[in-house]
């Protein structure tokens, strides 16, 4: 019998633990379809996390695209001497950049709250804050009040997205961890497309009601997400960390089915959490400082790098592509139609990635994504020098194809790796670092980019593509040394790989059983 570490612990047998390890190996070798069929209950519960992606997705679109609506421009915009409506660069930057800055703060702060009250109620509470932020935007009658609403909602979105992605990772079996994170990105992109379609419906309406309706529809997402999370179980690993073993076992039964080897699954999860705790007991309860200590430091830098990509690859420019194309001379209706088509392409690509990501690997897809990004950004920059209308259409098409490409090869892969790279105890804080990095980087670049291309500032136009061609080269070089492929590894095995300081480009060489053996020896040493 394994030794009980406290009187509140449930007893488990060596047979339970051995069976749990056998189940893990069997599930690791399943195909994607087999794993999905074996874990239908987990996929059903994951819908709550998918809805959180919708909260993020709708806000990100209306933040950038609503400023292209004539009704919005008439109410909050300004007019050039040539009687052309535009949004002053300072406000175009503030409305988007400050929202992302508060997302970063929310992603950081929710780690402390979630460690105390759990993932489930942190997500619900964050949705209530989002509801209030949307209300401020809906009622705003000045640029400053609109900014306040975007900041409140940004804070909430950072909280709910970090919590939801962490919770989804903690309930996922190893084979579905990547696809479920990818599913969150899929729903985020789907709702981005919906948001763009909503704006497209109201683009010709110049009444104040037009843009206010676009804001009001955003209330749907926090309400639906909060309602879903209210009926979801708590994270079983969080419950184990808090010593609530009976509750954790009940959650596992709910996620896997009561007759699906719950004792064995509980024994394995408890063993993993205890091993990790034993290895880190001298470092406290898993605070943010621990993310920057020992082997965790490189993992944290990798997470930051994955989301620094959102700035270096030019995503901030692409996020404002509708407004960018309109001021470049493309008709608003055409700009929106092409944008909707781009999101449709991204949705198809993300679904396809569930299958080819396993075949080609996260690292390879990421590096190819960076390389192609360099080429397309260079092409967009070069098209500036052609003054034909067909060149403008080419820029529009390339920008939206690149949106789909970046989501497919970088955004999607980045969230998958972030979920796979962290330890159990630090998973929420690692996800929070991801959200914070993504939001912080997007804040910085979103603030700067309008000054590059806008007519009242740098006036680079499509030449902005050259800037992001150069930064994408930097991204490719750094990614070669930092971005890993963690497909098929358990959390314990990832711990071992980083503790041994194995180069990330060599990780998959250890999928032959050496990582498993190393993790087992490390766990055995921790017991003694």
Supply the CATH number for residue 193's domain. Answer: 1.20.1250.20
Is 512 part of any domain? no
Is 298 part of any domain? yes
- Contact between 469 and 374 (Cβ < 8 Å): yes
- Contact between 430 and 422 (Cβ < 8 Å): yes
Q: pLDDT tens digits for 412-449?
A: 888 788 878 877 677 767 777 777 787 778 778 877 88
Is 525 part of any domain? no
Is 507 part of any domain? no
Is 3 part of any domain? no
Above 70 in pLDDT, residue 5?
A: no
DSSP letter for 2, please.
P
Above 50 in pLDDT, residue 74?
A: yes
Q: pLDDT tens digits for 240-273?
A: 988 899 999 999 999 999 888 899 999 988 887 8
- Contact between 309 and 410 (Cβ < 8 Å): yes
Q: pLDDT tens digits for 153-193?
A: 999 999 999 899 889 989 998 888 878 988 898 898 889 88
Q: Catalogue the E-assigned strands of 81-128.
A: 85-86
- Same domain (yes/no): 267, 297: no
Above 90 in pLDDT, residue 151?
A: yes
Kindly state the tokens that stand for 207: 């009444």
- Contact between 449 and 464 (Cβ < 8 Å): yes
Above 50 in pLDDT, residue 7?
A: no
- Confidence at 280, pLDDT banded by 50, 70, 90: low
- Confidence at 4, pLDDT banded by 50, 70, 90: very low
**Which residue range forms the structural domain that includes residue 189?**
46-232+290-488
Let me know the angle formed at the C-alpha of 33 by 31 and 37, rounded to the nearest 5 degrees: 120
Q: pLDDT tens digits for 215-225?
A: 999 999 999 99
Instruction: State which of 42-51, 104-113, 345-354, 495-504 shows the largest mean pLDDT.
Output: 42-51
> CA-CA distance, 505 to 357, in Å (whole number)?
16
Average pLDDT over residues 77-85: 74
- Confidence at 362, pLDDT banded by 50, 70, 90: confident
- Helix, strand and coil content of the chain, in percent to the nearest 5, comes to 80, 0, 20
Domain boundary among 279, 312, 347: 279
Angle subtended by helix axes 143-171 and 89-117, to nearest 10? 40
Is 458 part of any domain? yes
pLDDT of residue 125: 95
Let me know the angle formed at the C-alpha of 193 by 227 and 434, rounded to the nearest 5 degrees: 65
- Same domain (yes/no): 397, 479: yes
Above 50 in pLDDT, residue 118?
A: yes
- Same domain (yes/no): 384, 396: yes
- Same domain (yes/no): 146, 51: yes
- Same domain (yes/no): 333, 446: yes
> CA-CA distance, 268 to 173, in Å (whole number)?
12
Element (H, E) at 481: helix 464-482
Domain boundary among 224, 244, 279: 279
Query: How many beta carbons lie within 10 A of that of residue 74, not counting itself?
Result: 15
> CA-CA distance, 105 to 122, in Å (whole number)?
15
The H-assigned helical ranges of 29-80 are: 32-38, 40-45, 47-65, 70-76
The phi, psi pair for 74, rounded to 5°, reads -65, -30
> CA-CA distance, 383 to 379, in Å (whole number)?
6
pLDDT of residue 205: 87
- Same domain (yes/no): 257, 404: no
The backbone region for 492, taken as left when phi is positive above 0, alpha when psi lies in -120 to 50, beta otherwise, is: alpha
Above 80 in pLDDT, residue 276?
A: no
Above 70 in pLDDT, residue 456?
A: no
- Contact between 249 and 266 (Cβ < 8 Å): yes
| Nearest partner of 267 among 524, 17, 52, 8, judged by Cα | 17
- Same domain (yes/no): 127, 168: yes
Domain count for the chain, please give it: 2
- Same domain (yes/no): 387, 456: yes
Say which range, 145-149, 171-175, 292-296, 492-496, has the weakest mean pLDDT: 292-296
Q: What is the DSSP string of 245-279?
A: HHHHHHHHHHHH-TTS-HHHHHHHHHHHHHHHHHH
- Same domain (yes/no): 352, 268: no
Say which range, 16-25, 253-262, 331-340, 476-485, has the weakest mean pLDDT: 331-340
Is 27 part of any domain? yes
Average pLDDT over residues 406-410: 87
| Nearest partner of 246 among 491, 10, 499, judged by Cα | 10
Burial (CB count within 10 angstroms: exposed 0-12, middle 13-18, buried 19+), residue 11: exposed
- Same domain (yes/no): 275, 367: no
> Percent of the chain at pLDDT above 70?
94
Q: Which residue has the higher pLDDT, 203 or 1?
A: 203
Kindly state the tokens that stand for 77: 């915009």
pLDDT of residue 134: 95
Average pLDDT over residues 306-330: 82
pLDDT of residue 283: 52
pLDDT of residue 337: 82
Domain boundary among 279, 307, 341: 279
- Contact between 495 and 276 (Cβ < 8 Å): yes
- Same domain (yes/no): 201, 303: yes
pLDDT of residue 284: 52
Average pLDDT over residues 316-327: 78
Burial (CB count within 10 angstroms: exposed 0-12, middle 13-18, buried 19+), residue 288: middle
> CA-CA distance, 186 to 408, in Å (whole number)?
10
Q: Which residue has the higher pLDDT, 93 or 233?
A: 233
Exposure of 444 in the CB half-sphere (CA atoms within 13 A): 12
Query: How many beta carbons lie within 10 A of that of residue 79, not counting itself?
Result: 11
| Nearest partner of 339 among 189, 191, 193, 185, judged by Cα | 193
- Same domain (yes/no): 394, 436: yes
Is 494 part of any domain? no
Kindly state the tokens that stand for 249: 């076992």
> CA-CA distance, 343 to 193, in Å (whole number)?
5
> CA-CA distance, 116 to 49, in Å (whole number)?
20
pLDDT of residue 9: 66
Exposure of 337 in the CB half-sphere (CA atoms within 13 A): 6
Q: What is the mean pLDDT of the chain?
A: 85
């Amino acid at each position: 019998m394994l030794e009980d570490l406290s009187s509140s612990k449930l007893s488990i047998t060596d047979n339970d633990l051995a069976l749990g390890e056998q189940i893990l190996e069997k599930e690791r070798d399943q195909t994607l379809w087999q794993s999905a069929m074996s874990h239908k209950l987990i996929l059903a519960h994951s819908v709550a996390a998918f809805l959180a992606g919708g909260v993020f997705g709708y806000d990100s679109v209306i933040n950038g695209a609503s400023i292209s609506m004539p009704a919005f421009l008439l109410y909050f915009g300004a007019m050039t001497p040539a009687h052309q409506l535009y949004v002053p660069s300072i406000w175009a930057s503030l409305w988007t950049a400050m929202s992302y800055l508060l997302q970063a703060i929310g992603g950081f702060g929710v780690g402390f709250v979630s460690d105390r009250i759990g993932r489930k109620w942190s997500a619900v509470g964050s949705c209530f804050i989002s509801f209030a932020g949307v209300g401020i935007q809906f009622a705003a009658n000045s640029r400053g009040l609109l900014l306040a609403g975007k900041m409140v909602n940004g804070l909430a979105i950072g909280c709910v997205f970090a919590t939801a992605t962490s919770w989804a990772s903690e309930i996922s079996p190893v084979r579905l961890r990547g696809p479920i994170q990818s599913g969150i990105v899929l729903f985020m992109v789907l709702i981005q497309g919906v948001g763009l379609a909503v704006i497209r419906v109201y683009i010709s309406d110049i009444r104040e009601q037009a843009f206010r309706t676009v804001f009001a529809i955003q209330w749907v997402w926090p309400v639906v997400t909060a309602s879903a999370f209210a009926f979801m179980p708590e994270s079983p690993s969080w419950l184990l960390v808090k010593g609530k073993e009976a509750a954790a076992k009940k959650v596992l039964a709910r996620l896997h089915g009561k007759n699906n080897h719950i004792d064995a699954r509980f024994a394995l999860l408890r063993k993993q959490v205890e091993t990790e705790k034993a290895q880190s007991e001298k470092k406290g309860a898993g605070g943010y400082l621990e993310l920057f200590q020992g082997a965790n430091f490189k993992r944290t830098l990798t997470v930051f790098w994955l989301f620094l990509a959102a700035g270096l690859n030019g995503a901030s420019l692409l996020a404002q592509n509708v407004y960018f194309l309109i001021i470049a001379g493309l008709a608003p209706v055409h700009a929106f139609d092409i944008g909707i088509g781009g999101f449709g392409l991204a949705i198809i690509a993300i679904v396809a990635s569930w299958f080819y990501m396993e075949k080609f690997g996260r690292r390879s897809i990421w590096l190819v994504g960076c390389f192609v990004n360099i080429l397309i950004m260079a092409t967009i920059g070069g098209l500036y020098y052609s003054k034909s209308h067909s060149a403008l259409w080419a820029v529009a098409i390339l920008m939206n194809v690149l949106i789909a490409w970046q989501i497919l090869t970088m955004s999607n892969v980045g969230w998958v790796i972030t979920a796979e790279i962290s330890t159990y105890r630090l998973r929420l804080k690692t996800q929070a670092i991801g959200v914070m990095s993504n939001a912080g980087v997007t804040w910085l670049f979103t603030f700067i980019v309008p000054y590059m291309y806008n007519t009242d500032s740098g006036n680079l136009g499509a030449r902005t593509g050259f800037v992001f061609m150069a930064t994408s080269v930097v991204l490719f070089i750094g990614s070669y040394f930092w971005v890993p492929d963690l497909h098929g590894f358990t959390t314990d095995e990832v711990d071992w790989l980083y503790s041994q300081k194995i180069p990330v480009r060599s990780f998959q060489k250890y999928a032959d059983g050496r990582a498993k053996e190393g993790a087992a020896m490390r766990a055995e040493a921790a017991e003694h």
